[in-house]
Amino acid sequence: MLSSVEGRTVGFMSVDALALHDEAAGDAYRPRHLLMCRPEYFAVSYEINPWMNTTIPVDHRRALKQWDRLVRVYEALGHRVEIIDPVPGLPDMVFAANSGLVVGGQVYPARFRFDERRGEEDPYATWFAANGFTSHGEAAFINEGEGDFATVGGPAGCPPGKKVVLGGFGFRTDVASHDEVRARLGVDVVSLRLVDPRYYHLDTALAVLSDDDIAYNPAAFDEGSRAWLRTRFPHAVLIDDADAAAFGCNAFSDGHHVIVSEGATNFASALRDRGYEPVPTDLSEFRKSGGSVKCCTLELRGANPS
């Protein structure tokens, strides 16, 4: 049942109530540093993925309210949210996750596949430079940032703090970019092939819940990638077709709270069973463009990531 405090309702609990749950999170919870872009110019004005349909209009006022609510959720949970100024003519700039991958204070910047999104590269690069993130120049290969890169902990036996990047490819990101990430950021990269065009980015097919726990939609990957995921994450949450289509995988976790599309009901139940606190959130307007919670959220990992 929905609850509301001062008219601010998010999923099954109010924004105000969320802050009260921090103390219950325990050691699993870690506050995050995030980058987001307000959807002042958000629209579906072109079609570059199967979800986009220019004949279905976006309710711009509703999109703004949904995005503002997401920011309030993050802030209520103790996360620090930075806001980059939107640019006219760049309707998908709201999807900040696609702008790059940030690990250890270094950013591997996006180089978008489609011309419609290439204009996002410079504003984000300027923001990263102005805020102290090192980029080592433009990317040489096509990649769409955290849309196709997800950061997890190293396997058993690795040094504490060791990070491994899961790299998606097959639709938007060239697999050659994975070697560039290895060289620039000094992390291991595991390449995972996406095979369903509906799940064209890794973050539409897989969600990181903690360093050692993920959720994913097996049907979105080829058999070799599924085999690796089964071996590395044998207890992963498997997302069913209905929840995948509701953008359940496009979730953001701080290690305890999982902000997830409110339509992914089976996933939310599985999260509760595992001790996570699901926070169902309505971002239905952004699903018209093929995005949801994670697409709107870039994690800024600092010089000493944990």
The answer to whether the pTM exceeds 0.85 is yes
d(CA 2, CA 9): 7
Q: Among candidates 143, 208, 148, which has minimal Cα distance to 180?
A: 143
The mean-pLDDT minimum among 10-19, 33-42, 84-93, 237-246 falls in 10-19
d(Cα 283, Cα 218) in Å, to the nearest integer?
Answer: 24
Q: Convert the pLDDT of each residue in 8-56 to its tens digit.
A: 334 445 666 665 455 556 667 999 999 999 999 999 999 999 999 999 9
Q: What confidence tens digit (pLDDT) does each residue in 169-219 have?
A: 999 999 999 999 999 999 999 999 999 999 999 999 999 999 999 999 999
Compute the average pLDDT of residues 61-67.
98
Nearest-angstrom CA–CA distance, 25 and 18: 11
**Hey, what amino acid is at 56?**
I
Residues 287-304 have pLDDT tens digits of: 999 999 999 999 999 853
Residues above pLDDT 90, as percent of the chain: 85
Please compute the mean of the pLDDT values over residues 127-148 and round it to a whole number: 96
Mean pLDDT of 125-141: 96
Beta bridge partners of 192: 168
Q: How far apart (Å, rounded) are the C-alpha atoms in residues 249 and 260?
A: 8
Catalytic residue set? 201, 295
Instruction: Give pLDDT, residue 26.
Output: 62
- Domains for the chain: give ranges and CATH numbers: 31-299 (3.75.10.10)
Residues ≥6 apart with Cβ < 8 Å to 270: 215, 237
**CA atoms within 13 A of residue 166's CA, in its CB half-sphere:** 30
119 has pLDDT over 60:
yes
Q: Which two tokens stand for residue 148?
A: 């196709």
